[in-house]
Structures are given as structure tokens and as C-alpha cells.
């Protein structure tokens, strides 16, 4: 056995025999360090006859490669051993399933908004946004509610110092949509609205509505009824009946209150529906000719319907919730019940 082969065999033996990283480091120094045995071998190169040098040089290099590989392999093994020794001494079992991390849930208003958007997109409506800080013009005047109009009083408005308002409903986006897109047009506008109201079980100063607007040629009340029935059937997850009662809003003519048959007693009469068998679901109507004009459309050519769906109310009817304050109360026990993830 050549001296080199003997050296390699010895070195490999010591590498495999090293029982910790410190020892492995010492072995590495002893053979490959500046004064290591293999490095010394290389120094003999110049004293060899010329023709032997290439072969010897190559042999030393091969030996170096083999030792380096062995060192790396042993280092990996020792590190893994050290890690598992540490983990088991700390009582950590990496195979044990983790404990669940608490995660949030989507707010029921967000969930119902997503569902509604889905249903209406299926009916060809586009989803629009509008500003929460609105001009008085869009919130009131353009909708036929001028300053002295009694309908203003039902909108207890948060006025800003600059004369703008926190929008009291999503209807201003009707005008914005017509101005921007013209007709024909089918849009929904889910969004947050504000009214300066005394908060109680059925009133909130901050609430969510979804406006719907369809404008086209020959759009009439049956289109409205069909659309509302389709939507409510999906959302309330049952076959429903609707009825229209007259309702007054300056921006629709005729205006209606749309009722559905009571989900709690199926129309028999109960406390929730005050024995009538019906509950009020949403205001709606045919877009007033003046509103079409405000939006830049000719009422001789275009007609449309609009509705304003109260989203809290819809969620309350769906789940039988009786206090609107629960939505903004931040009580996790309430919110967790709508866990859909």
C-alpha cells in the first residue's frame, strides 16, 4: 500500500469514528489543515522527478476530494444526531400534530355581500363602488330630495364641515352609474351607509345596503319582481313568495315595499311577522323620470327599476337574529357562529 493510500484509509477511519463536530474539526485539521498530513504530502511534489509529478499530484488531489466528501457526509450525520438529541432532551416530538392556531372568520355582512354579488353577477349585473363621503347633490338633490323636502328628515344625516355628507344610502351611486356608463345598465352597489340615529335593537348609525339598478328599454315591474324573487330565493335558501305594497321614495315612481312570506312561521302568523304572515324585506320601485334625467338619460327612451336592500336586515331574517347591534358589537361568540371557512 502506498503511503498515500495508507494515509487516506487512516483519515477515512478517523472521520467515520469522530463522535462530535469538534472532533471532526480536529481530524480535518490533522489531514487537510495548513500543517495537515495531506498538505505535507503535496509539499513533497517539488522533490520528485519531473515525470512522476503529474501522477502524484493527481493522486493527492483525488485523496483530498475523497476526504472532503467524507467530512461533509459525517458532518451532516453528526448535525442530525445532535439535533435529534437536543429535541428529545427538550421533550419535543416533531411528529406530534400541531395545536390549532385560532383564525378569524368572515363577517356575516361580508359573507352575504359575496353571496349577493355572486347571484347578481349571474344575472348579468356589474358590481360598483361609490364614495362613502358624498356630495349633497348626489345623496339628495339628484334623487329628487331637495333641501326643503320632507323626505330629508327621515335621513338623519351626518354633515361634514365642508358641506359634504356621509352618504345616508347607496342610491347616490344610481346617478353616478348612469352618468358614467349610460344605458342600458345593470349594477349592484353594496356598501356602508351612515345615519345619525339613536342606536337600538333595530337601528344603527353605520349600516350596509346594497343598491340595485337596472335601466333598459321596456324594463317594467315584472322584471323587478322576477329579479328580487330570484335573489331572495338564493339568499334565504327556500322557495319564497313576495308581495308589493305601495311605498314612498322620491326617486321611484311607483315605489314599493317588497315583503316576503315569513320564514319563521311559513306564513302562518307569528311574533316576528306580527301575525301577518309577511315580513318587510326591501324598498324598491321604478326609477323616477327625473332621476333618469339627472343621470343624463331620456325617460322617453329608457325605463328602469331600483331597489335598496338592507344587508343587516337580510342576515337577521336569514338567521333569526334579533339585535342589529350584534353586527358591530365585536363579540367573538356572535361572530364565530358564522364560521364558513
CB atoms within 10 A of CB 13: 11
Residue whose CB is less far from ligand PHE, 171 or 227: 171
Residue 100: strand, helix, or coil: coil
In angstroms, give the least distance from the CB of 207 to ligand PHE. 9
For residues 46 and 70, the answer to whether their CB atoms sit within 8 Å is no
With CB under 6 A as the contact rule, the residue among 119, 306, 315, 316 that binds ligand PHE is 306
Single residue of 178, 308, 313, 316 touching ligand PHE by CB under 6 A: 308
Can you tell me whether residue 261 is helix, strand or coil?
strand
Q: Interface with ligand PHE includes 252 (CB under 6 A)?
A: yes
Least CB distance from residue 161 to ligand PHE, whole Å?
Answer: 24
Cell triple for residue 11? 483519515
- Quote the least distance from Cβ 193 to ligand PHE, whole Å: 7
* Shortest reach from residue 177's CB to ligand PHE, in Å: 13
Looking at beta carbons, which residue is closest to ligand PHE? Answer: 308
Residue corresponding to grid cell 490533522: 30
Q: What are phi and psi of 146, to 5 degrees?
A: -70, 175
**Of 103, 150, 109, residue with least CA distance to 311:** 109
Instruction: Report if residue 138 touches ligand PHE, rule: CB under 6 A.
Output: no
Angle of CA points 29, 31, 35, to nearest 5°:
70
Q: Which is nearest to 112 in space by CA: 309, 331, 330? A: 309
C-alpha span between 299 and 187 (Å, rounded):
18
H or E, element range at 278: strand 278-287
Establish if 195 lies at the interface with ligand PHE (CB under 6 A): no
For ligand PHE, the closer CB: 74 or 167: 167
Question: Binding residue for ligand PHE (CB under 6 A) from 112, 139, 142, 169?
Answer: 169
By CB under 6 A, name the one of 113, 171, 227, 261 that touches ligand PHE: 171
The single-letter DSSP state of residue 253 is: E
Interface pattern 282-301 for ligand PHE (x via CB under 6 A): -xxx----------------
Nearer to ligand PHE, 63 or 143 (CB): 143
Dihedral in degrees, nearest 10, Cα atoms 226, 274, 206, 102: -90
Q: For residue 249, state whether it binds ligand PHE (rule: CB under 6 A).
A: yes
Q: With contacts defined by CB under 6 A, how many residues of the chain interact with ligand PHE? A: 10
Residues 6+ apart with CB under 8 A from 331: none
Least distance (Å) between residue 310 CB and ligand PHE: 8
Rank residues 108 and 255 by Cβ distance to ligand PHE and give the closer one.
255
227 touches ligand PHE by CB under 6 A: no
130 or 308: CB nearest ligand PHE = 308
- Contact predicate 307/331, CB 8 Å: no
Binding site for ligand PHE (CB under 6 A): 169, 171, 249, 252, 283-285, 306-308
Amino acid at each position: 500500500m502506498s503511503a498515500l493510500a495508507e494515509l487516506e484509509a487512516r483519515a477515512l477511519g478517523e472521520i467515520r469514528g469522530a463522535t462530535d463536530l469538534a472532533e471532526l474539526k480536529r481530524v480535518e485539521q490533522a489531514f487537510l489543515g495548513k500543517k495537515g498530513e495531506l498538505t505535507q504530502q503535496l509539499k513533497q511534489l517539488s522533490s520528485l522527478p519531473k515525470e512522476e509529478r503529474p501522477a502524484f499530484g493527481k493522486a493527492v488531489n483525488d485523496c483530498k476530494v475523497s476526504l472532503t466528501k467524507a467530512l461533509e457526509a459525517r458532518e451532516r450525520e453528526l448535525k442530525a444526531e445532535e439535533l435529534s438529541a437536543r429535541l428529545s432532551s427538550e421533550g419535543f416530538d416533531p411528529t406530534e400534530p400541531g395545536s390549532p392556531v385560532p383564525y378569524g372568520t368572515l363577517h356575516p355582512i361580508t359573507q352575504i355581500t359575496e353571496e349577493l354579488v355572486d347571484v347578481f353577477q349571474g344575472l348579468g349585473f356589474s358590481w360598483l363602488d361609490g364614495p362613502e363621503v358624498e356630495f349633497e347633490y348626489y345623496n339628495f338633490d339628484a334623487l329628487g330630495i331637495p333641501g326643503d323636502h320632507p323626505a330629508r328628515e327621515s335621513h338623519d344625516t351626518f354633515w361634514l364641515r365642508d358641506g359634504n355628507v356621509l352618504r345616508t344610502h347607496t342610491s347616490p351611486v344610481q346617478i353616478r352609474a348612469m352618468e358614467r356608463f349610460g344605458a342600458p345598465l345593470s349594477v349592484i352597489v353594496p356598501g356602508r351607509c351612515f345615519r345619525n340615529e339613536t342606536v337600538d335593537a333595530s337601528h344603527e348609525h353605520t349600516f350596509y345596503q346594497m343598491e340595485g339598478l337596472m335601466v333598459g328599454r321596456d324594463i317594467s315591474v315584472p322584471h323587478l319582481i322576477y329579479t328580487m324573487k330570484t335573489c331572495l330565493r338564493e339568499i334565504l335558501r327556500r322557495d319564497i313568495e313576495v308581495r308589493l305594497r305601495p311605498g314612498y321614495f322620491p326617486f321611484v315612481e311607483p315605489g314599493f315595499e317588497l315583503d316576503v312570506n315569513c320564514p319563521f312561521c311559513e306564513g302562518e302568523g307569528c311574533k316576528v311577522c306580527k301575525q301577518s304572515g309577511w315580513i318587510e324585506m326591501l324598498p324598491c320601485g321604478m326609477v323616477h323620470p327625473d332621476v333618469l334625467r339627472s343621470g343624463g338619460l331620456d325617460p322617453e327612451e329608457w325605463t328602469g327599476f331600483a331597489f335598496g336592500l338592507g344587508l343587516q336586515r337580510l342576515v337577521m331574517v336569514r338567521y333569526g337574529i334579533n339585535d342589529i347591534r350584534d353586527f358591530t358589537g365585536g363579540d367573538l361568540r356572535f361572530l364565530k357562529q358564522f364560521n364558513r371557512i
